Amino acid sequence: MENKNLYRKKIENSDISFNEKQKLLSNLGNIKDDYPIILNGYHISNKVGIKWNDYLKLLKNTNKYYHVYYMAKKSGGRRKITIPDQILMDIQYFIKNNILENIKIDESAFGFRKQKSILANATYHREGEKVLIMDIENFFPSIHKGRVYYVFNKICGYSREVSYDLTRLVTYNNGLPQGAPTSPIISNIVAYKLDLRLKGLSYVIGIKYSRYADDLTFSGAENKINDKLLYTVSNIIEDEGFKLNLKKIRFYGKNSTKIINGLVINNGYVTIQKRYIDKIKQELYYIRKFGLESHLNYVGFKNKHYAEHLKGKILYVYSIDKEKGKQLFSLYNELNIENKPNLVRGGFDEMPVL
């Protein structure tokens, strides 16, 4: 971390007014040791490497620097995806890598973290006799600016001005944008207290708890995963400023096949759903039979990042089941999608080493 004493000397020896010196020294003293020194908005623009006027222009209306599109949900309806422009995305990566990555996240959070994954989350519960799965409604959008401001101001110790600017740079309207690199880690930070309370409750009861993004999973003995647990957890979720999605509450009994985050648990083994793989195969088949453009027009996929979208699905399969993933890799590469115009380029020449 940067040396506060050097900054203190620079401030004391500068020719700014006494009041301004006191303000900067106070701001400096409040910043916690684990975080980079940022004293004002100009300091932010300097650290992220953009001109001051460009920074002010961006900060004035950050919403203009997002591209918005919609993706169909499995449960019906559409999910709003907001992707930042490159200039804003670069700033968000700076904030993520230099500030947010230093903030503690509870071990029960499995989403958006190195060394943890959907597979690890499902595997953690594979021996549970009974499973309860709950969902937080509108997870990212419900994390409003006030909660994000708290992260920068109270946890990191930044001044009101800096915290306000940082908050503006990582939020869209009044919530976290689904598509910004900072949103996943901020959601884990904001949910830290929720995770602590639910982990503590689970420890007392004698069951397991984990959270993957907005999905909460509890597993344990059949007599401990019950309506009383559901009621207690619901109250804690509400108390922590979140809302339970009543349509996505699921109990899985002792001898039933369990589905956690789209993965199937049967007799202690974790596998990917067959219908998910079949759907990808069907998509690849239609591209081969009717052509890429016709397929895209038919399904109504207008985003130019289709290739990345499809590759992401295949990589997901590969992360769970390498053999099935390899089969899909081969089918994908045979289509030569990377050479099609107006699509993100790149096949699977860089396929992970087995």
For residue 191, the 8-state DSSP code is T
101 & 206 share domain: yes
Let me know if residue 53 belongs to a domain. Answer: no
Q: Which band of pLDDT confidence, cut at 50, 70 and 90, is reported for residue 289?
A: confident
Q: 331: closest CA among 288, 301, 295, 292?
A: 288
Q: Is the pLDDT of residue 228 over 90?
A: yes
Sort strands 66-72 and 258-260 into parallel, antiparallel or unpaired: unpaired
Q: What is the pLDDT of residue 349?
A: 40
One-letter identity of residue 205: I
Mean pLDDT computed over 186-193 = 98
Structural tokens at position 275: 């219908």
Mean pLDDT computed over 172-182 = 94
195 & 141 share domain: yes
256 & 283 share domain: no
Let me know if residue 103 belongs to a domain. Answer: yes
The C-alpha R_g of the chain, in whole angstroms, comes to 23
Q: 189: closest CA among 170, 169, 209, 165?
A: 170
Measured in whole angstroms, the distance separating CA 332 from the mean position of its chain's CA atoms is: 27
Let me know if residue 203 belongs to a domain. Answer: yes
Let me know if residue 353 belongs to a domain. Answer: no
The SS3 assignment for 138 reads coil
Alpha-carbon gap, residue 119 to 263, rounded angstroms: 8
Q: Which among 30-44, 181-195, 289-303 has the top mean pLDDT?
A: 181-195
Q: What is the pLDDT of residue 343?
A: 40
Q: 66: closest CA among 184, 185, 171?
A: 171
80 & 156 share domain: yes
**Rounded percentage of the chain residues whose pLDDT exceeds 90:** 66
Alpha-carbon gap, residue 64 to 293, rounded angstroms: 30
Q: What is the pLDDT of residue 2?
A: 77
Q: What is the pLDDT of residue 351?
A: 39
Q: What is the pLDDT of residue 26?
A: 92
15 & 155 share domain: no
Alpha-carbon gap, residue 257 to 266, rounded angstroms: 5
Instruction: Give burial (CB, 10 Å; 0-12/13-18/19+) of 350.
Output: exposed
Which CA distances in Å does 261 have to 57, 226, 295?
Answer: 41, 20, 28
Q: Which domain holds residue 18?
A: 1-30
Element at 323 (helix H, strand E): helix 322-334
Neighbours of 305 (CB within 10 A): 14
Q: Is the pLDDT of residue 222 over 90?
A: yes
Mean pLDDT computed over 256-278 = 91
108 & 172 share domain: yes
More confident residue, 244 or 342: 244
302 & 261 share domain: no
Q: Which band of pLDDT confidence, cut at 50, 70 and 90, is reported for residue 307?
A: confident
Q: Is the pLDDT of residue 350 over 50?
A: no
Domain boundary among 223, 250, 268: 268
Mean pLDDT computed over 176-197 = 97
DSSP of 224-274 = TSSHHHHHHHHHHHHHTT--B-GGG-EEE-TTS-EEETTEEEETTEEEE-H
Q: Is the pLDDT of residue 80 over 50?
A: yes
Q: What is the pLDDT of residue 304?
A: 62
Q: Is the pLDDT of residue 314 over 80?
A: yes
93 & 182 share domain: yes
Mean pLDDT computed over 26-31 = 92
Let me know if residue 299 belongs to a domain. Answer: yes
1-10, 112-121, 162-171, 190-199: segment of lowest average pLDDT: 1-10
Mean pLDDT computed over 100-111 = 95
Paired residues of 264 in beta bridges: 259, 271
Tens-digit pLDDT profile for residues 139-166: 999 999 999 999 999 999 999 999 999 9
Q: 191: closest CA among 140, 234, 154?
A: 140
Q: What is the pLDDT of residue 267?
A: 85
Paired residues of 84 in beta bridges: 66
Q: Which band of pLDDT confidence, cut at 50, 70 and 90, is reported for residue 341?
A: very low
Answer yes or no: are the C-beta atoms of 282 and 276 closer than 8 Å.
Answer: no
196 & 319 share domain: no
Q: What is the pLDDT of residue 297?
A: 75
254 & 327 share domain: no
Answer yes or no: are the C-beta atoms of 51 and 58 closer than 8 Å.
Answer: no
- CATH code, domain with 158: 3.90.1600
Tens-digit pLDDT profile for residues 238-247: 999 999 999 9
277 & 153 share domain: no
Mean pLDDT computed over 120-149 = 95
Question: What is the number of structural domains in the chain?
Answer: 3
**Rounded percentage of the chain residues whose pLDDT exceeds 70:** 91
Alpha-carbon gap, residue 126 to 61, rounded angstroms: 47
Let me know if residue 301 belongs to a domain. Answer: yes
Answer yes or no: are the C-beta atoms of 208 and 202 closer than 8 Å.
Answer: yes
Alpha-carbon gap, residue 348 to 325, rounded angstroms: 11
Sort strands 208-212 and 78-84 into parallel, antiparallel or unpaired: unpaired
Q: Is the pLDDT of residue 189 over 50?
A: yes
Let me know if residue 241 belongs to a domain. Answer: yes
Sort strands 269-272 and 263-266 into parallel, antiparallel or unpaired: antiparallel
Q: What is the pLDDT of residue 7?
A: 87
92 & 209 share domain: yes
